[in-house]
Each structure stands twice: as C-alpha cells, then as structure tokens.
Amino acid sequence: MNKKIGVYVCECGPNIPERIDIDKVIEELSSMGEVKTVKRYSLLCSNDGKKFLKEDIEKEELTHVVVAACSPKEHENTFMKVCEEAGMNPYLFQMVNIREQCAWMIPDKEEATSKAIKYIKAGVHRVLFHDPLKQKELEINVDVLVIGGGISGIEASLSLAGPNRKIHLVEKTDSLGGMAGKLSQILPHQGSKIKLVKEKIEQVENNENIHVYTSSDVKEVRGFLGNFEAVVKSNQENKEGIEEEIKVGAVVLATGFEMFDLKENPVYGYGEIENVVSALEFEEMIHSEKIELKNGKKPKSVALVHCAGRKEKGYCSKVCCLYTLKFAHYLKDNLPDVDVKELYMDLCLPHKQDQSYFDQAKEKGVEFIRMDEVEKIKKSGDKIEVEYRNNDKADKVSVDMVVIAPAMVPSQDTSHLAELLNLPLDKSGFFKELHEMLDPVATPMEGVYITGCALGPRNIPESMTQSHATSGKILSSLIPGRKVKPEVKVSEIKEDLCTGCQTCLSVCFYGAISYDPFKGVSVVNEAICRGCGSCVGSCPSGAIRSKHFTYYQLYQEVMEALR
C-alpha cells in the first residue's frame, strides 16, 4: 500500500500561533517523503473543524493522519472517530501535543517552534509503523453466577434475574440466608420480628430464573466478561461429588464473613467461664426467646463488651455497636429489672438514624462505660468480673452474664476463591475492590464483582445496596443482544521467543496471561488484557509485544525526536 500521510496543525485559537511559527512547521514537514499534505486550521475540534478534517482526508485519499494540537487526553478519541468516519483505519492515526508540551511550556518562540517540529516529525515516523488494528466484538452470555447465599447473594440474584437472564446461586451450606437468616430482629427495624429475609428466600425459591445450588462449592472459574465457564460441585448427600459445568457472563462473590475466634485471646475467658457468651449465641437466645443463665435463672445484670478483636485485627467492624444496642434494648424491653452495662471503646454510629437508638437506650437506663481495653474477664463467686482500663486507670464491673461482640473477619474460603479467580485481597484479608473510592464493587477481573461483607464489615442495608450496585454494573454491561468490545491495544507473546519462564504471569494485575504446558509457552488472553504493558517490560527474552507500542514504533519516534 502506498502510504499517504496528512499532517494537520491546529491553532487552538491564539494558543498555539502565539508561541509556534506554524508556517515554519508547514514548510519543514512538507519536505518529508511520505507526507502528502500539511494544513493548518483554527480550531480543529469544533464541528466545522471536524467536517474539514473528514472532507480533506477523503479528498487527499490519505492512509495515515497526524494531528498536532492539544493533549491526546482531550481529543485523541475525537479525531480517531473522524478518521474512521472518513473511511480510514483509526489506529493509523497519531496525535502530537504541541500545546501543553510546547506552546504552553516554552516562552521562546523559536525554541518552541523547533521542538514542535521535532515532535511532529517523530509522530510522522511513528505512524508509518502503526498496524491497522481492528476492534473485535465478542458474543456474550448474560447469565450470572452468584457465589454465597446470604442476604447479599439473595438480593443480587433477585435484582439480576429476568426473563432473558438466568442466575445460578451457589450456597455452601444447606440453606440460604447467611447470618441475616439467623437474626430474629434486624436493626434499624427494631421491635418486630423481621419476615423480610424469609420472604426473600421464598422469592428466590419461586423465581424460575434463579437456579439454587445448596450444599455446593464452585470448583473452577475460567474466562472473562461475557464468557465465563464454571464448575459447581455438589456436596449434597445423594448428589455428592456430582459436578456441573455452567456458562455465565459475570460472577458475583457474596461469601460474607465469619466471627473472630474469641478463644484466640484468653483475656475474654470465652469457652472457659460459664455465662460468657458470644454475640451469635445471644442472637440464638433472642431467637428462642430464652435469655437464661446456665442454671436456668434470668440474669439480673448483663455486660455487653464491644470491640473484641478490634486491636488484633486492626479495624473496627462497624456493626457491633449497633447490634449491641439492639441487645440492650431487647434486654430492657424483656427483662425490665435487668441492669445493662455497655463497655465500649468508641461508639461508632455513622448512620443518621443510629444515634437515636443510643439516646433511647440511655433513656431506658442502659449504662454506657468507656474503656480503653478489657484487661481480663474472670469468675468471682457467682458473678463474672470484667476488668478494664480507662484513661490508664483500672476499674471493673461485676455481672451475671457477659455478651462479647467479636470482630467480623473474612470468611474461610476467601483466599481460596481469590486464587481461583485471580483476585487481590486487602490488608485485612477481605476481597479488595478495583478502586476503593470510585469502583467499590468491581474487581481487576472485568466481569467479577463483590458485594456485602465479603468486602468488609457492613450492615444489612449496606450489603443490599451493594448488591443492587453489582446489579447496576452488570445490567449496564451485559445487555442481551449487545456484544462486548475488548481492548484493542493489547499485548501478544511470540511463541518462538518465549522460554516459558512465566515471569509475566506474576506481573499481570488482570490475570490475562496463562501458561500453556503443552507448548511450553505463556499466552495472553486478548479479551482480558488491558494493554498496560507491565508484562512487556518484565519478559527477560523480549518475547512480548504491545500491539500499539511496539519496540519499533517507539524507537522510530524517539530517534526522530532526538535527531
């Protein structure tokens, strides 16, 4: 193909001509071999400018285009689109930034002009070696695999299921509901027994678009957004070991949390001292409507001890303050004479309605005691003594029963699933979000999302909200009939150069590279690769090539700029 390059210099109003002698630029560039035309335009990004560019590309029958203007961050996409509309391959385009990097940087006009000329020439040399890359489109499966059948997994399934979308919901235990299913009252709806979780479970079971697998594990997941394959293994009595392969377009992890093991720290006396119970055991007492000591008597005094495991784990679990307030209310409402003491470090009541539960508990006579730390919980006659320190002074309370609120920790299978799906964990061992601030339910694996306590401690409304968020992300990317467009500027590995050392596997943040044991080489999955280039630099044999940043393209560009 005969290469015909067009170079367009945008004035950007007065911005560029004030510092760059455009006539000189045109003169210098015109003499370059493959350059068919060099033109200037006042504001190329305006509607008139784009129309001019399109018509000129067509008229001059250009094969390659270089635009010298502002930052590619501003208008690279704009001009690539114009090239495409003019019938060109949009990747045979190069943008050169002569505004931010020349006109706005260098006060001396001559110097700025000469730098701009070098840059544009470098761009021309680079674009000559561009490959006509093609945007691929892949068919998609819109079904979703949800792992974990707690309230988060339930809510995600209900929100995602539809006439054109099947959901596979896999739960490890023999029933749905998770922790929420064990609670008899749920804050902030204090007072009435919540039917909500039960109702939701029924809705799941009656929904013909949701397939529930209880007593099952996910053994394998492979693939990428729109095209995952997973193996679900049953542990049910009569189906034990039976494996089923399913195909889905996205995966939601909703594997929840577990409780910090109180036996890890002997100061709590948990498991040793009678009537020292965990929050979960107390929830069960509420459920059976029997708040009793081991001897069958009703407690006259109860201490609610917050923050067990907070120091050890290094984070505050956010919901314990709230549910211990729930316990305090329950005790005061059901055993009117009981003396309730809450021993807390900080009251963490971050939601707008939380503080009023605290104020109401105070009104009911609950005593709130600030402490720095529990020193020891021990038996003393019929009573249990909780010794604590506050402001460096030792003190204690003496009660019939102690309820301990343990930290919420990552569920058992978290690290195994992270390995299976190539996902990072955070410092606390929970799944890590793609971006803690702006992408709180996504992961580096496109098409894999996380919701609820699998991400860290949170309450039920927050967990449900996040499940709707995963549903928002999935419903806007996996639309029946639409195709997904993977990144074009990806990397590829040259089989004959790859030694199979697998260095690249460890640097790829997105898990796009796998090792092919039969051929003895590593392979990039183009549908997953984002073209970040990390692997290119890591390969000791120089076997990896980034398709739009090839060694040769960069060499040509740099050589020309340095000439």
Partner 1 sequence: MKNQNVLVIGSGVAGMEASLILADAGMKVHLVEKDSLIGGQTIKFEEVYPNMECATCMLAPKQQEVLQHENITLYLLSQVKKTEGSAGEFKVQIEKKARYVSLINCIGCGACYDPCPVSLDNEFEQGMSQKKAIAVACPGALPNVPAIDADNCLRLNGKKKGCNACEQACGFGAIDFTEKDETINLEVGAIIVATGFDQFDVSGLAQFGYGKHPNVYTAMEFERLYAQNGPTEGKLTLREERPIKSAGIIHCIGRKEKGYCSGVCCMYSMKFAHFIKDKAPEAEIHEFHTDLCIPGKSHQRFYEELSKKIDFIRYEDVEVKGNNGNLEIIYTHSNGKRDSIKSDMVILSPAMIPSKGTKDLAKVLGISQDSMGFFSTQDQNLSPIDSEKEGIFIIGCAEGPKDIPDSVSQAEAAAGRILSLLQ
Ligand X SMILES: Cc1cc2nc3c(=O)[nH]c(=O)nc-3n(C[C@H](O)[C@H](O)[C@H](O)COP(=O)(O)OP(=O)(O)OC[C@H]3O[C@@H](n4cnc5c(N)ncnc54)[C@H](O)[C@@H]3O)c2cc1C
Q: Do residues 405 and 324 lie in contact, with contact meaning Cβ atoms separated by under 8 Å? A: yes
Q: Do residues 233 and 245 lie in contact, with contact meaning Cβ atoms separated by under 8 Å? A: no
Q: Which of 67, 72, 77 is nearest to 43 (CA)?
A: 67
Query: Of 334-342, 380-388, 460-468, 528-536, which segment contacts partner 1 by CB under 8 A?
Result: 460-468
Within 68-97, the residues that bind ligand X by CB under 6 A are none
Is residue 309 helix, strand or coil? Answer: coil
**252 lies in the site for ligand SF4, by CB under 6 A:** no
Tokens of 8: 């367009």
Tokens of 269: 């006396």
Residue nearer to partner 1 on the CB measure, 101 or 390: 390
Q: Do residues 151 and 177 lie in contact, with contact meaning Cβ atoms separated by under 8 Å? A: yes
Binding residue count for partner 1, defined by CB under 8 A: 70
**255 lies in the site for ligand X, by CB under 6 A:** yes
Within 392-451, the residues that bind ligand X by CB under 6 A are 411, 413, 417
**543 lies in the site for ligand SF4, by CB under 6 A:** no
**531 lies in the site for ligand SF4, by CB under 6 A:** yes
**119 lies in the site for ligand SF4, by CB under 6 A:** no
Q: Which does 160 bind (CB under 5 to 8 A by kind): partner 1, ligand SF4, ligand X, none?
A: partner 1
Q: How far apart are CA 27 and CA 38, in angstroms?
A: 9
**Residue 256 CB, nearest approach to ligand SF4 (Å):** 30
Q: State the virtual CA torsion across 416, 419, 425, 428 in degrees, nearest 10.
A: 30
**394 lies in the site for partner 1, by CB under 8 A:** no
DSSP 265: S
Q: Which of 202, 205, 240, 346 binds partner 1 (CB under 8 A)?
A: 346
Q: How far apart are CA 539 and CA 504, in angstroms?
A: 6
- Is residue 30 within a helix (H) or strand (E), and if so which, with residue range? helix 22-30
**443 lies in the site for ligand SF4, by CB under 6 A:** no
Residues 6+ apart with CB under 8 A from 378: 269, 273, 384, 385, 387
Binding mask of the shown chain, residues 263 to 282, with x at each position contacting ligand X by CB under 6 A = ----------------xx--
Is residue 304 helix, strand or coil? Answer: strand
Q: Which of 7, 180, 321, 521 binds ligand X (CB under 6 A)?
A: 180
Q: Which of 139, 2, 118 is nearest to 68 (CA)?
A: 118
Q: How far apart are CA 40 and CA 562, in angstroms?
A: 25
**428 lies in the site for partner 1, by CB under 8 A:** yes
**423 lies in the site for ligand SF4, by CB under 6 A:** no
What sections of 411-562 are H helices per DSSP? 414-421, 460-477, 503-507, 534-538, 551-562
- Footprint of ligand X (CB under 6 A): 147-153, 170-173, 178-180, 183, 186-187, 217, 254-257, 279-280, 283, 319, 323, 326, 411, 413, 417, 452-453, 458-461, 463
Residue numbers of the site for partner 1 (CB under 8 A)? 12-15, 43, 46-47, 159-160, 162-165, 186, 188-189, 196, 310, 314-318, 346-356, 359, 370, 390-391, 393, 426-428, 430, 433, 436-441, 455-457, 460-462, 464-473, 475-477, 479
Interface residue list for ligand SF4 (CB under 6 A): 490-491, 507-508, 510, 512-513, 524, 529-535
